[in-house]
Every structure is written in C-alpha cells, then in structure tokens.
Amino acid sequence: MLQIMKNLYEESSASCRYQRIAAAIEEGLRRNLLKAGDALPTQRALAGALRLTVGTVTHGYSEAARRGLITGVTGRGTFVASAVSDVDVLPPPAPLPPATEWPGADTSRASSETFSGDTELRWNLGFIAPFEHLNPTLHSALEDLTKSADARTLAELQSYHRPAGMERHRTAGAVWAEKYGVHVSARDLLICAGSQHALMTILTTLCAPGDRIAVETLSYPLLRQLSWRLRLPLCPVRTDACGMLPDALDAACRSGGVKAVYLMPSCRNPTLTRMPEARRKDIVEVCRRHDVLIIEDDVYALALNRTHAAPPLAALAPERTCFIAATSEILGGGLRVAYLCPPQHLIEELERTISYTISMVPPLMAELAFRWITDGTADRVLQAKRDEAEIRNALVRDILDGHPLLSRPTGFFCWLSLPESWTGLKLAAAAKEKGVLVAEGEHFRMTPSAVENGVRLALGGVPDRENLAEAVRIIADLLEG
C-alpha cells in the first residue's frame, strides 16, 4: 500500500503537496488500485516515504476526508471510504408494488437486483425511501388535473413564471411550512426543486468561498460534497445526546470565519438526535452573538409526533434562519418540491439565485404539490406513513432487542450503535456479503475524528415487513455470531 501511494503521488499533477495526496487517493480509486476498506499508511510512514512533513500528510488526508474519499477510525487508522452515493447511500432499484404501477407496466422484474459490483443485494436498508408504495398516485392526480383544470390553468403550467413560484403554489407552501411549526406568509417563501436545491441556493447566495460552515460531527453527506465544491470549509462541532454543544459552537465562532451553521434539530440524520427547546435557545443565542446564519433542514421532522415538539429554530430566530420545508419524503422522491422560508430581507437575493440556476421550479410539479396539500391528500399520506413506520420500528426493536438501537416511534430510520469489535464499515461489508445494504456511520462523518460508531438502518426501502424482518435478522446474526 505504501508503494502504491508513493507511485500515485509521484504521478499526480496537483499544484500543492497536500492536494497531490488527496488527488493520488482519488486517482487510486478511479483506477481500482484502492478499494473500500483498504487501510492507508500511517501519516508518519507516508511522510517518510514521500519525504514530506507529517503536517503536510495530515493536511492531505484531511482534504481527502473532506472529499469523502477516506475515513478515520479512532485507534484503528485511516481507511478508504465506501464508494456510495453522495446523496444518501444508494437508491433502491426494486419495482414498486403492482398497485402503484402504471396501467400496462411490466411487473415481471425480479424483486432482487444487483445494485453495484457483483454482489446481489436483496434488501436495501441504506437509502431512506420512506414507504414509496404509500405515495399519492400520480396517474390519478394527472387524470384529475386534465379533467378539472380549464385551458387557461393548463396553459399557465406550460409558461414561465417568476422564480419564487406562482402565488397559489406559494400559498400551499405556507400551509406545508405550518406543519413544521413555521409561521410564514406566501410572499415570504420561495419554491425550490427539492431540499437539496434549497440548500445549494442558500450556500451559493449567502456564503462566499472561504466562509466556514459549522456542522455536527455526523451529518448529511451531501453537505460535505457541496462545501468542498463551493470552497466552504466545514467546521465540525462537538455534540452530545441533545445535539450540537453551544459552548463548542461558541468556541468555533470565536476562532473566526464561521458564516453559517447547518442543523437538523428535530431528527438528526443519521442518529435521530432531537434537540430540546433549551438547547435550541442556547444555540440561537450563540448565533446572534456572532451574527451567524442558521440553516435549518428538518427534513424528517414531519415523520414524528409533533404534539410536544420544540419550536423550530426559525420561530426562535426568524431574522437569521433559513428553514427548508421538504415534501419529497411524504409525497414522493420524484416530486422535487421544497419550500424555502428565509428571513424577509434575503428573499430577493435568494430568488435571483433560483432565476440563474433553474429559472423556476417546473410549475407542473408545484401544481401537484399544491393540489395534494390543499385537498388533504398530503395529510392522509403522512398519517399512513407514520402508521407504517410505527409498525416497522416495533418490529426492528423486537429483533434487535438487547442491542443499543436508537429509534423513534414513527421515525423513518434507526441508528444501531456498535461495540468496539465492529466498525460501521466492517458491519456494512459483512452485511453486503449477505445481501443487505446498510449505511455505515463513517459515511456521515464531517471529521475523521468523529466518535460515533454505528450504522443507519432505513425502514422504508424494502417492499414489506417480512423482507425488513429478514434483513434485520441477518444484522442481528452478524452481531451475535
């Protein structure tokens, strides 16, 4: 391995020495000279082989980690990361149940397919696809649209509109944001092409290259990729069972350059951590003290019972919070509609970014979301998904009884903490050999030194409860074997 790294480094054309190290690792992956799980040389050993300082190698490994190429395991070393999607591990290719297929669709495909490589993966617990078989039926929605809409309305859906979105679509967005506890008027939100586009819009509009983004040590993998491409260094902040630590955030801000903080306060991905109200207020106080923007991406909050929910950060600090109200997890992954609720004084600038990135969200998609939200369909589907999630969570807790499983009664995924004898990468590799895909904790690390060790188990990416039980039993057998 040391010789491979030396050869790759010498072949690299990157200008800076530390970037040559990261580029060498990237090239090694491309040429299949490095594989997921391979142990890399220690920093001291590589520094000696390349005649560099240990600090340069440390910087190079950190850059590679920022790109998602490698991961560090405390006390074990540095390893090549799994080759998985930047978004959320790997979407399941399995067909939807026959009840949701289009008339005349081919339903003869096998239920198990090869996701990657040569391994047949029968069960996908890696990708959060929240019970897609319960999504509203697109066929019925389009049929209803063509029957009920007049010619003028249909023509509107084929025309250009202001980037913020049509008025009635934004009104539906305000109704949807209210379900998250965010009180906003239609004129004070923007329609984006999904929560990822909303996040991209915020970062490109309100941050400049070199600005630091504070983030929890485990967080949404796409943020790591976006920050690298936009030249926005991440600033991992320590957490506890209640989420980001205010004192740690304060220290990061005092060190300089922190422009924004990214949080999922009601249901952190991947550990399901819920930030209590007192902690939220402390975080807001720190952000006000240092004039830091808050990006609140509470995408999985609607899955949970909100009877005793803490107020969103957007309600506590509306003057500095950009809240993203997603719809795809409830209404379907293909419906790329999200509502961005920013401070009023930022609306115009954010709308300009939408105008030069996608011009506008396709009005037809926004119309479908509008209809499902206003006619009660969205509420019915949300409740159906909560009911199914509750049954599946109970099933998983029963099978993994005795293991440190973190779950929420109606959550769309669980977090399984692992003993010292296992790493997330190791369990993911062992499960893959048995046909089960899980999301290793290393995939979510914003820093190689993150201490959480576990795997995320998504509950909605398998077609039924029997398949879910079979897959989880395989995980249990591996841990107990």
Cα torsion 261, 265, 271, 276: sign: positive
| Residue 89: band (very low, low, confident or very high) from pLDDT cuts 50, 70, 90 | low
Q: Are residues 211 and 348 in the same domain?
A: yes
Q: Are residues 433 and 342 in the same domain?
A: no
Residue 183 within a domain: yes
- Give me the CATH number covering residue 350: 3.40.640.10
Q: Are residues 202 and 271 in the same domain?
A: yes
Token look-up 């980001």 returns 244
The token pair at 326 is 């997603």
Q: Are residues 255 and 269 in the same domain?
A: yes
pLDDT of residue 259: 97
Residue 93 within a domain: no
**Host domain of residue 54:** 2-80
| Residue 119: band (very low, low, confident or very high) from pLDDT cuts 50, 70, 90 | low
- Give me the CATH number covering residue 64: 1.10.10.10
Q: Are residues 113 and 11 in the same domain?
A: no
Q: Are residues 249 and 299 in the same domain?
A: yes
Residue ending a domain, choose from 375, 407, 434: 375
Q: Are residues 368 and 384 in the same domain?
A: no
Q: Are residues 416 and 429 in the same domain?
A: yes
Q: Are residues 7 and 132 in the same domain?
A: no
Q: Are residues 346 and 401 in the same domain?
A: no
The tally of domains found in the chain comes to: 3
Question: Distance (Å, rounded) from C-alpha 61 to C-alpha 72?
Answer: 9
Q: Are residues 345 and 398 in the same domain?
A: no
CA-wise closest residue to 65 among 27, 32, 37, 25: 25
- Give me the CATH number covering residue 410: 3.90.1150.10
Q: What mean pLDDT, rounded, does the chain reach?
A: 88
Q: Are residues 187 and 272 in the same domain?
A: yes
CA Rg value for the chain: 23
Q: Bigger pLDDT: 111 or 285?
A: 285
- pLDDT tens digits, residue range 420-445? 889 998 999 999 999 999 999 988 88
- Which contiguous run of DSSP H or E holds residue 324? strand 321-326
Residue 8 within a domain: yes
The token pair at 9 is 């480094």
In the predicted structure, residue 356 carries a pLDDT above the cut 60? yes
